[in-house]
Amino acid sequence: MNVLVSGGAGYVGSHAARMLANAGHEVWAYDNLVFGHRGAVAPGRLIEGDLLDRPKLEAALKAHKIDAVMHFAAFAYVGESVTDPGKYYHNNVVGTLSLMDAMRAVGVRRIVFSSTCATYGEPESVPIRESQAQNPINPYGYTKLVIERALADYAKAYKWGYAALRYFNASGASADGDLGEDHDPETHLIPLVLQVALGQREHITIFGDKLPTPDGTCIRDYIHVDDLASAHISALERLEPGTEFKCNLGTGQGTSVKEVVDACRRITGHAIPAVIAGPRAGDPPALVADASLARRELGWTPRFTSIAPIVESAWRWHQKHPNGYGD
Ligand code: UFG
């Protein structure tokens, strides 16, 4: 297939683009490089453009005879979405509608969309099943939920085939250490902890150690970025016009913040001092996927099921690229 990967220069998008190309697809990354990195895209495969640039999107879809879109491009800082919701609704909702309408204009009817477990808000119960109510507790989660809804409506009315994949905590890096996580600012736990091991930070701050979890720190479901990528490809290959597919992408395993920090200590051999602070606003104590639907329906199995190999892959990337992509 000819596939346009929006956000293809970003963290998850770049891993998916590379895996798609390795699977024999023709891949074009569409990215405005606000958060993406030129160095994360295969040479000659980057179309530099914004989601809000409809003419450019339509031209790209036409010129490369695109059969399907994988849509990763979005802003994803939960805290910033609370203080500046306009920025999030504009980029994640208006931008995505611009992409969807460009697809309509050109007749592309297949899309795999990056959604998030943040669409559930405070979970009713853990592990979280897809049937749980979606009540986001921040604008970021709402922007993703709005698009899930729009896709369902477009699928029905215009006979699109779509998949909305609700990621839990994307983590890790490609096996060769050439692609990895490089956010500015960085807010995610694993890269922050590894920056301490690299001597770029003095300590990691643990947000809360008196939460209702076995060791008192937050529990998350860390899923390797290449496992996310392979699930996208499985979903893409199953898309048929008029069909919808919504599922969680996680491992079903919970890991606490303390367990992540301990794994980083073992793997890096660095003491990694930790300072305990109060909980971060809006952080649910535990978010773990019921990951059975994706396994059943996509025939997909995550290869990384524990935190150690995830951290090892991230550490390889951080050692090889202590300053990220260097742009
Ligand atoms: N944490 C710390 N110290 C830090 C950073 C994080 O203790 O310096 C903790 C957080 O409290 C949380 C866990 O580590 O319990 C993971 O935090 P991340 O910021 O890495 O990830 P989140 O679970 O907060 O957020 C991720 C994605 C969001 C997405 C969300 C869904 O980054 O985009 O999952 O809940 F919306």
Distance CA 294, CA 227 (A): 11
pLDDT digits (tens, 9 = 90+) for 149-163: 999 999 999 999 999
212/110 same-domain check: no
pLDDT above 90 (res 282): no
126/211 same-domain check: no
Q: What is the CATH number of the domain that holds 306?
A: 3.90.25.10
Maximum pairwise Cα distance, the chain? 57
Atom of ligand 1 nearest to the CA of 140: 36
**C-alpha 28: how far from chain center:** 18
Residue 260: CA count within 13 A, CB half-sphere: 30
88/237 same-domain check: yes
Are 313 and 175 in contact by the 8 Å Cβ rule? The answer is yes
- Would you please indicate which residues are annotated as catalytic (active-site) residues? 140
**Which three-class secondary structure state does DSSP give residue 143?**
helix
Beta strand spans in 96-232 (E): 110-116, 161-167, 169-171, 204-207, 219-220, 222-224
Count of domains for the chain: 2
Put the strands of the sheet holding 286-287 in their side by side order. Answer: 255-256, 219-220, 286-287
202/69 same-domain check: no
What residues make up the domain containing 234?
Answer: 2-171+222-249
- In a domain, residue 135? The reply is yes
- In a domain, residue 177? The reply is no
* Token pair listed for 291: 């990951």
Bridge partner residues of 246 (DSSP): 164
232/193 same-domain check: no
Beta strand spans in 44-127 (E): 46-48, 68-71, 110-116
The preferred substitution site among 119, 218, 276 for testing ligand 1, maximizing ligand atoms within 8 Å of CB, is 218
**Distance from Cα 268 to the centre of ligand 1, integer Å:** 21
Name the closest-CA residue to atom 16, ligand 1: 189
197/243 same-domain check: no
* CB of 3 closer than 6 angstroms to any ligand 1 atom: no
* CB of 117 closer than 6 angstroms to any ligand 1 atom: yes
Bridge partner residues of 282 (DSSP): none
Nearest alpha carbon to residue 131 among 142, 121, 120: 120
Name the closest-CA residue to atom 26, ligand 1: 169
- In a domain, residue 327? The reply is no
Name the closest-CA residue to atom 30, ligand 1: 118
- In a domain, residue 7? The reply is yes
ipTM for this model = 0.95
pLDDT digits (tens, 9 = 90+) for 92-123: 999 999 999 999 999 999 999 999 999 999 99
12/67 same-domain check: yes
**Distance from Cα 154 to the centre of ligand 1, integer Å:** 32
* CB of 307 closer than 6 angstroms to any ligand 1 atom: no
The preferred substitution site among 78, 200, 206, 219 for testing ligand 1, maximizing ligand atoms within 8 Å of CB, is 78
The preferred substitution site among 80, 219, 220, 288 for testing ligand 1, maximizing ligand atoms within 8 Å of CB, is 220
257/137 same-domain check: no
Q: What is the CATH number of the domain that holds 81?
A: 3.40.50.720
How does residue 241 score in pLDDT terms, banded at 50, 70 and 90? confident
> What percent of the chain shows pLDDT beyond 70?
100
pLDDT at site 144:
98
Residue 64: CA count within 13 A, CB half-sphere: 24
